[in-house]
Amino acid sequence: MKTVLIGVGQAGGKLTAALQSFDQQMGFGAVLGAIGVNTAKTDLQSLPFETVLIGQDRVNGHGVGGDNELGAEVMQADKTEVMSALDGRITAQTESIFVVAGLGGGSGSGGAPVLAKALRRVYDIPVYVLGILPGQDEGAMYQVNAGRSLKTVARESDAVLLVDNDAFRSSGESMSEGFDAINDAIARRVGLLLAAGEAVEGVGESVVDSSEVINTLRAGGIAALGYASAEASEVAEENINAVMSTTRRSLLTGTSLPDASDADSALVIIAGKPDTIPRKGVERARRWVEDETGSMQVRGGDFPLESGRIASLILLGGVERSDRVEAFMERAREAIEHAATEEREDPKEMWHNDELDDLL
Ligand SMILES: Nc1nc2c(ncn2[C@@H]2O[C@H](COP(=O)(O)OP(=O)(O)OP(=O)(O)O)[C@@H](O)[C@H]2O)c(=O)[nH]1
């Protein structure tokens, strides 16, 4: 899926740089271009692409200090500059735009929903948000910011691909020590997803196409991405177990949003050397994902890749009913103070919850 990336805020910029670098290293060519946007001048200086400093009249290049309402306001005021920087980068080839942001801070959390809304008004291609949830031990402000931002980006974008910082954290490491490793892990997964529909070698009916990614995300709301890989044999028949076990790990322990296995739709992509991918294994894995997610809309396809390993990449659409998202929204509400005792019968109701204000 040929994509243009817009990193908003510090986390958004760094993750965008990691995504672009992975795509270049692998020679995929799925990332057509990238820009970085921030209210903090120093965070933009190290980024290897064009950047736009917003909110100079309000914060003078010093960041918004976690105030995501201010982040939303300055993006609203300066969005024309951001849209101008995109001019000429979004061409007839571009199939999607990803706004990349940490949802717990100020600039990315507030800016991403405003920018997604503006982009959707101008472009016909899908506008997705790659959003990062704060880890559990980050403070109340981060949880509240992320709760409000998530609720708003889910409405203002075509879908939110959600990543929980806790999902990729190594034990004994502080959140900030682990950021580079977390960004690399996310970049590998999202980079493979973007490249999957771009495969030109071995094109056949079993090869996954970008339109299947778009269709899996079509219902909107929240999406998650799972990944696992294993050594492969040169003989396809001997890889049936590898395909099944990587698929189980990908969904049960390898997702960007832990415990989000209840989904409305899914796409199971098996990556590896084309003649080592067992058809029987791929079909069995697809049916297993159908059972696990409870979804009748599970697509499947191959991603031909010169590698001695087999990988299973699973895109899940419509995971807002999952325990993980519900637990996060609960955490955000508790941080707002009085909603902890509330009993909800239908988890979908949280999207209509008035105690967690929309940002826009
Ligand atoms: N995965 C990942 N998360 C990050 C990174 N840097 C910060 N975060 C997370 O992102 C949130 C903070 O967002 P930032 O992007 O730092 O903040 P900002 O959008 O620049 O906003 P202000 O600093 O308030 O102007 C926190 O939840 C951090 O844990 C990073 O490089 N990678």
Q: DSSP assignment of 229-270, as one string? A: EEE--SSGGGGHHHHHHHHHHHHHT-BSSTT----SEEEEEE
In this structure, what token pair is assigned to residue 317? 């659409």
Residue ranges covered by each domain of the chain: 3-196, 225-317
Name which residue leads in pLDDT, 259 or 155. Answer: 155
Supply the residue whose CA is at minimum distance from atom 17 of ligand 1.
105
- What's the CA-to-centroid distance between 240 and ligand 1, angstroms? 40
What confidence score (pLDDT) does residue 344 get? 46
Give me the mean pLDDT over the 311-334 stretch: 89
Beta-bridge partners for 35: 6, 50
10 marked as part of a ligand binding site: yes
Taking CA atoms, 337 is separated from 98, 141, 239, 241, 354, in Å, by: 33, 12, 52, 48, 14
Supply the residue whose CA is at minimum distance from atom 10 of ligand 1.
102
- What's the CA-to-centroid distance between 181 and ligand 1, angstroms? 14
Cβ–ligand 1 distance for 111 under 6 Å, the answer no
What is d(CA 294, CA 288) in angstroms, rounded to the nearest whole number? 10
Taking CA atoms, 35 is separated from 6, 99, 183, 345, in Å, by: 5, 10, 17, 42
- What's the CA-to-centroid distance between 3 and ligand 1, angstroms? 22
What is d(CA 211, CA 224) in angstroms, rounded to the nearest whole number? 17
Helix axes of 107-122 and 140-156: crossing angle, nearest 10 degrees: 0
Region of poorest pLDDT, from 58-72, 135-149, 235-249, 336-350: 336-350
Of ligand 1's listed atoms, the one at least distance from the Cα of 133 is 27
Confidence of residue 78 (pLDDT cuts 50, 70, 90): very high
Give me the mean pLDDT over the 257-262 stretch: 86
241 marked as part of a ligand binding site: no
User: What is the tens place of the pLDDT at every residue in 57-69?
Assistant: 999 999 999 999 9
Cβ–ligand 1 distance for 110 under 6 Å, the answer no
| Spatial strand order in the sheet of 298-304 | 50-53, 31-38, 3-8, 96-102, 127-133, 159-164, 222-231, 309-317, 265-272, 298-304
Name which residue leads in pLDDT, 343 or 116. Answer: 116
pTM given for the model: 0.92
Superfamily name with CATH number, domain 225-317: Tubulin/FtsZ, C-terminal domain (3.30.1330.20)
What sign does the dihedral 276-280-282-288 (CA atoms) show? Answer: negative
What confidence score (pLDDT) does residue 200 get? 61
- What's the CA-to-centroid distance between 298 and ligand 1, angstroms? 33
Cβ–ligand 1 distance for 10 under 6 Å, the answer yes
What is d(CA 182, CA 197) in angstroms, rounded to the nearest whole number? 24
- What's the CA-to-centroid distance between 283 and ligand 1, angstroms? 40
According to DSSP, residue 40 is labeled B
What sign does the dihedral 269-274-277-283 (CA atoms) show? Answer: positive
User: What is the tens place of the pLDDT at every residue in 265-319?
Assistant: 999 999 999 999 999 999 999 999 999 999 999 999 999 999 999 999 999 999 9
What confidence score (pLDDT) does residue 212 get? 95
Q: Which of 308, 315, 345, 177 is nearest to 231 (CA)?
A: 308
Confidence of residue 325 (pLDDT cuts 50, 70, 90): confident
CA quadruple 245, 277, 216, 157: dihedral, nearest 10? 90
* Strand pairing class (159-164; 50-53): unpaired
* Strand pairing class (96-102; 3-8): parallel
* Strand pairing class (222-231; 309-317): antiparallel
Supply the residue whose CA is at minimum distance from atom 7 of ligand 1.
11
What confidence score (pLDDT) does residue 202 get? 56
107 marked as part of a ligand binding site: yes
What confidence score (pLDDT) does residue 345 get? 47
13 marked as part of a ligand binding site: yes
Of ligand 1's listed atoms, the one at least distance from the Cα of 163 is 1
Give me the mean pLDDT over the 122-136 stretch: 96
Listing DSSP states for 172-216 in one string gives: T--TTTTHHHHHHHHHHHHHHHHHHTT--TT-STTB--HHHHHHH
Overall CATH class of domain 3-196: alpha beta
Give me the mean pLDDT over the 26-36 stretch: 96
Region of poorest pLDDT, from 105-119, 130-144, 335-349: 335-349
- What's the CA-to-centroid distance between 214 and ligand 1, angstroms? 27
Give, for ligand 1, the residue of 165, 184, 189, 328 to mutate: max count of ligand atoms closer than 8 Å to Cβ: 165
Highest mean pLDDT out of 76-85, 331-340, 345-354: 76-85
Helix (H, G, I), strand (E, B) or coil at 79: helix
Q: What is the CA radius of gyration of the chain?
A: 20
The yes-or-no verdict on residue 153 having pLDDT over 70 is yes
What confidence score (pLDDT) does residue 177 get? 73
Supply the residue whose CA is at minimum distance from atom 13 of ligand 1.
105
Of ligand 1's listed atoms, the one at least distance from the Cα of 66 is 24
Average pLDDT, the chain: 91
Q: Which helix (H) or strand (E) holds 98?
A: strand 96-102
The amino acid sitting at 145 is: N
Q: Which helix (H) or strand (E) holds 147?
A: helix 140-156
What confidence score (pLDDT) does residue 342 get? 41
Confidence of residue 343 (pLDDT cuts 50, 70, 90): very low
User: What is the tens place of the pLDDT at every residue in 81-124?
Assistant: 999 999 899 999 999 999 999 999 999 999 999 999 999 999 99
What confidence score (pLDDT) does residue 175 get? 67
The amino acid sitting at 22 is: F
> What interface predicted TM-score (ipTM) does this complex get?
0.99
60 marked as part of a ligand binding site: no
What confidence score (pLDDT) does residue 316 get? 97
The yes-or-no verdict on residue 322 having pLDDT over 90 is no
The yes-or-no verdict on residue 197 having pLDDT over 80 is yes
Of ligand 1's listed atoms, the one at least distance from the Cα of 67 is 24
Beta-bridge partners for 266: 298, 316
